[in-house]
C-alpha cells in the first residue's frame, strides 16, 4: 500500500470514529430525552435514537474496514449466502415488535427493533443481486461499503434540493390554479383550512377535514409535481454521483457498474427506510405496514440506482453512451410512477375504510384503486428486477468472454 493510501485510510478511520462518537451521543441522548421533566418528546427520542444507531453501525463498519486496509489485508470479495438467515432474523424481529405492547414503540429501546427491521431485508435484497451476478462480479466489501455510504450521505443533498422543489411546485400549482375557473376559491379555502389547523391542538383535526385537504386538486397537484417529477429527477442523479466520479478512473464493467449503483441505492434506502418508516411508530398495525412497505421500496431504490449506475458503465466504457440518458430516464419514470401511486394512496386511502363508500368522492376512491394496482405491479417489477438485471448482465458477459477472438492476418503467427 502506498503512503498516500495509508494516510487516506487513517483519515477515514479518524473521521468514522468521530462520526461514531457523535452517533453514540445521539443514541444516548435519545434515551435521556424522555427522562427530562416537562418534555413530551417520546417519538422524537425514538427517531434520534434510530439515527444514532444507524450512524453508529456505519461508523463501526468503516473503522473495522479501515484498520484492515492499513494492516495491508486485501479487500475481501463479497458473495453473500446468508440471506436466508437475514430473512429469518427479520421475521423474528418483526414478530417481536408485533408482540410488544404499543407503548414500547414510544420508547428509545424500540429503535433497535425498528433499525433491524429496515436494515435486514435491505441486505437480503442486495444479497440477491450479488448472487445473481455471481462470483465473476468480484465486488469487494470495501466497494459496497463505500458506495452504500455515498448513497446514505446523498440523502442530505437530495432533501435540500427537494425542499426547494417543493416550494417551486407550490408556486407553480397555485399560479396554474388561479388561472382555472374556481381555482381562486379553492386556494382561499385551503388557506383558511390551514390557518384553522394552526390554531388547533395537534391531532385535533377531524377525519373529514383531512379528506377535504388531501382531496383538493391543489394539494394533489403539489404532491404529484414534487414527488412524481422533481424527487425522482433529483434522487436518481445524486444517489449515484460517486459511481460517475470513480468510473472516470476505474472504468468498471457493466455488471460492476450496476452493482455499484445498486449499493448506492441500498445506502439511500437504509436512511430513508429508517426515517420514513418511523412515521408508523405508535401503533402496531401502522408500524407493520411501514415495515412491509419498505421492502419493495428498498428494491425500487436498488433497481433504479443500479440502472443509472449501468448507464454510467456504458458511458465510461465509451460504448453506446446514449444508454446513460436512456437508463437514467427509465429510472426516473419508474421512481416517478412509484411516487405517483403513493400520491394517489395518500390522497384517497389515508382515511378509515368505513368512510370510503359514504364520504369519500368517487374520484378519490378510483385513485386509491389505481394506486394500489400500480404500486403492486411496480413492487413486483422491482423485486424481480434486482435479480433479473444482474443475472442478464452476467450471462451476457459470460457469453462475450466465450466467443473466440479472431486474430488479424498481420498478427498471425508464422508457420
**SS3 labels along 298-344:** HHHHHHHHHHHHHHHHHHHCCCCCCHHHHHHHHHHHHHHHHHHHHHH
Give CA–CA dist 357/362, Å, rounded: 8
- Return all residues near 15 (Cβ < 8 A) that are at least 6 apart: 62
pLDDT digit of tens for each residue in the chain (415 aa)?
678 888 999 999 999 999 999 999 999 999 998 887 655 577 788 889 999 999 999 999 999 999 999 988 888 888 788 889 999 999 999 998 888 888 888 888 889 999 999 999 999 999 999 999 987 777 889 999 999 999 999 999 999 999 999 999 999 999 999 888 888 888 888 888 777 766 665 554 545 556 567 667 888 889 889 999 999 999 999 999 999 999 888 888 999 999 999 999 999 999 999 988 877 777 788 888 888 989 999 999 999 999 999 999 999 987 788 999 999 999 999 999 999 888 777 665 544 333 444 444 565 566 667 778 888 999 999 999 999 999 999 998 888 777 664 444 444 444 3
Cα atoms found within 13 Å of the Cα of residue 108, Cβ hemisphere only: 18
CA distance 271 to 293: 15
Pairwise CA distance, residues 355 & 3, whole Å = 68
The rounded distance, in Å, linking the Cα atoms of 268 and 262 is 10
Contacts of 393 by beta carbon, 8 Å cutoff, 6+ apart: 133, 254, 255, 258, 310
pLDDT of residue 409: 45
Enumerate residues 6+ apart whose C-beta is below 8 A from 398: 136
DSSP secondary structure of 43-81: HHHHHHHHHHHHHHHHHHHHHHHHHHHHTTPPPPBP---
> Is residue 240 a contact partner of residue 261, using CB atoms and an 8 Å limit?
yes
Residue with cell 407550490: 170
d(Cα 178, Cα 137) in Å, to the nearest integer?
55
Assigned C-alpha cell, 35: 427522562
Burial 76-92 (b: 16+ CB within 10 A, else e): eebebeebeebbeebee
Taking the model in full, what pTM does it have? 0.88
Taking only the tens place, the pLDDT of each residue in 254-277 is: 999 999 999 999 999 999 999 888
Residue 385 contacts by C-beta under 8 Å, 6 or more apart in sequence? Answer: 299, 303
Task: Return the domain boundaries, the chain.
Answer: 1-74, 75-395
pLDDT tens digits, 3-43: 888 899 999 999 999 999 999 999 999 999 888 765 557 77
Amino acid at each position: 500500500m502506498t503512503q498516500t493510501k495509508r494516510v487516506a485510510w487513517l483519515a477515514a478511520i479518524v473521521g468514522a470514529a468521530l462520526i461514531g462518537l457523535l452517533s453514540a451521543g445521539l443514541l444516548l441522548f435519545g434515551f435521556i430525552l424522555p427522562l427530562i421533566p416537562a418534555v413530551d418528546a417520546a417519538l422524537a427520542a425514538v427517531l434520534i435514537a434510530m439515527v444514532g444507531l444507524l450512524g453508529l453501525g456505519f461508523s463501526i463498519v468503516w473503522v473495522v474496514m479501515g484498520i484492515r486496509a492499513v494492516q495491508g489485508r486485501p479487500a475481501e470479495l463479497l458473495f453473500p449466502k446468508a440471506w436466508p438467515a437475514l430473512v429469518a432474523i427479520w421475521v423474528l424481529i418483526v414478530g417481536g415488535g408485533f408482540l410488544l405492547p404499543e407503548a414500547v414503540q414510544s420508547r428509545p429501546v424500540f429503535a433497535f427493533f425498528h433499525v433491524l427491521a429496515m436494515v435486514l431485508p435491505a441486505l437480503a435484497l442486495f444479497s440477491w443481486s450479488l448472487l445473481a451476478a455471481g462470483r465473476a462480479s468480484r465486488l469487494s466489501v470495501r466497494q459496497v461499503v463505500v458506495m452504500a455510504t455515498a448513497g446514505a450521505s446523498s440523502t442530505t443533498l437530495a432533501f435540500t434540493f427537494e425542499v426547494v422543489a417543493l416550494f417551486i411546485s407550490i408556486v407553480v400549482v397555485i399560479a396554474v390554479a388561479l388561472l382555472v375557473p374556481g381555482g381562486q376559491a379553492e386556494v382561499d379555502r385551503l388557506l383558511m383550512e390551514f390557518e384553522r389547523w394552526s390554531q388547533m391542538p395537534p391531532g385535533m383535526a377531524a377525519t373529514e377535514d383531512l379528506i377535504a385537504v388531501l382531496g383538493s386538486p391543489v394539494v394533489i397537484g403539489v404532491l404529484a409535481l414534487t414527488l412524481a417529477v422533481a424527487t425522482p429527477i433529483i434522487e436518481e442523479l445524486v444517489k449515484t454521483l460517486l459511481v460517475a466520479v470513480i468510473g472516470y478512473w476505474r472504468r468498471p464493467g457493466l455488471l460492476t457498474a450496476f452493482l455499484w449503483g445498486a449499493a448506492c441505492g441500498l445506502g439511500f434506502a437504509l436512511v430513508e427506510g429508517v426515517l420514513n418508516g418511523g412515521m408508523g411508530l405508535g401503533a402496531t398495525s401502522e408500524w407493520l405496514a411501514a415495515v412491509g412497505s419498505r421492502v419493495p421500496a428498498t428494491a425500487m431504490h436498488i433497481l433504479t440506482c443500479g440502472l443509472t449506475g449501468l448507464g454510467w458503465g456504458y458511458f465510461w466504457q465509451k460504448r453506446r453512451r446514449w444508454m446513460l440518458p436512456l437508463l437514467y430516464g427509465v429510472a426516473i419514470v419508474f421512481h416517478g410512477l412509484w411516487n405517483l401511486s403513493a400520491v394517489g394512496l395518500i390522497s384517497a386511502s389515508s382515511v378509515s375504510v368505513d368512510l370510503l363508500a359514504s364520504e369519500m368522492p368517487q374520484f378519490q376512491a378510483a385513485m386509491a384503486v389505481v394506486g394500489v394496482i400500480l404500486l403492486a405491479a411496480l413492487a413486483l417489477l422491482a423485486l424481480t428486477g434486482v435479480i433479473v438485471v444482474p443475472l442478464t448482465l452476467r450471462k451476457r458477459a459470460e457469453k462475450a468472454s466465450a466467443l473466440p477472438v479472431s486474430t488479424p492476418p498481420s498478427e498471425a503467427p508464422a508457420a
